[in-house]
Amino acid sequence: MTLEAPPTTSIASLFEAGRPPRARTKFLSRFVVLSDNHDFVGRLYELSIVAYHFDGYDALAAHADCKYAYDVNFVLSALTRRVESLNAAADMLWPEPYPIDFNAFPVSRYDWLTLAADAFLMRYVSVVDCAMILAAEVFETGLDARRCSIDNLRKAGVPTEALATLQAMVDDQGPLRDERNSRFHHGRESSHTDDDQTFQLASVFERVNGIAGTDRYGRKINLDRSFKEGLVKRQRDFNRSCRSLSKRLDELYDELWKAFEGRFVPRVRASTHGLRSTAPN
């Protein structure tokens, strides 16, 4: 039986002393993700008020225009909530105020970074999944949410322009999607610092009596430096990926808005419910 070595650095390299890589510890300016700044989102939110004119979904669903607007807004709201939740993940990456006493934390500094990375990666990658579900709803594909992939959307007749934007969103995720899969499906963790072994061990002992000594590079153990290094590393991922994500979402909303109005307006004009028309001129 032949054993394969795990896809990691060699054991020997973990103990090699040398010049430490230069890592930034000064916090980056935070990018705030906006979930509802596109007019398409505002348009659907306004149309969702129609639900208050009916006693229940069955009564609303009897009118094709109301049902379509309500169903699309329901899915869109899930997407905007997921986008907004990225800011909650960012709160963990930009702790304000910066903690003075980490012994008051329910977890160690190392675990804080791990959980912050988990929250960010899971929610960031799932935004695209939610966007695919929205596209399926706007184009009335009838696809179950679990089957909303680009291939299935293509087979269901979603136009190439919308598919191209969705594919670009997937491509933008690149290594972060791979890291998400590695974390959640394979149990592999990525490093937070240039010496994660020392950082993790020192974080554990900080909650007991502390630990003294040096790291693999001969530097005096500095938990604050390591913690900030890990935060800044993930801050960089957050800012870069979320700026791109916001741009792609605006592009997708442009495409979906045109498709939505093309399907919604004729239904409003043919409606019999007597409500004020919300169809554009």
Helix axes 39-47, 223-269, angle to 10 degrees: 60
CB 220, CB 214: distance < 8 Å = yes
Q: What is the pLDDT at residue 171?
A: 96
Specify the pTM: 0.86
Q: What is the pLDDT at residue 4?
A: 44
Q: What is the pLDDT at residue 209?
A: 83
- Torsional class of 140: left (φ above 0), alpha (ψ -120 to 50), beta (otherwise): left
CB 19, CB 67: distance < 8 Å = no
Q: What is the pLDDT at residue 51?
A: 86
Q: What is the pLDDT at residue 138?
A: 98
Can you read off the two tokens belonging to residue 74?
């329901």
Reading the chain (281 residues) residue by residue, the pLDDT tens digits are 344 444 444 444 444 545 666 678 899 999 999 999 999 999 999 998 888 889 999 999 999 999 999 999 999 999 999 999 999 999 999 999 998 888 888 899 999 999 999 999 999 999 999 999 999 999 999 999 999 999 999 999 999 999 999 999 999 999 999 999 998 888 888 899 999 999 999 999 998 888 889 999 999 999 999 999 999 999 999 999 999 999 999 999 999 999 999 999 999 988 777 665 554 54
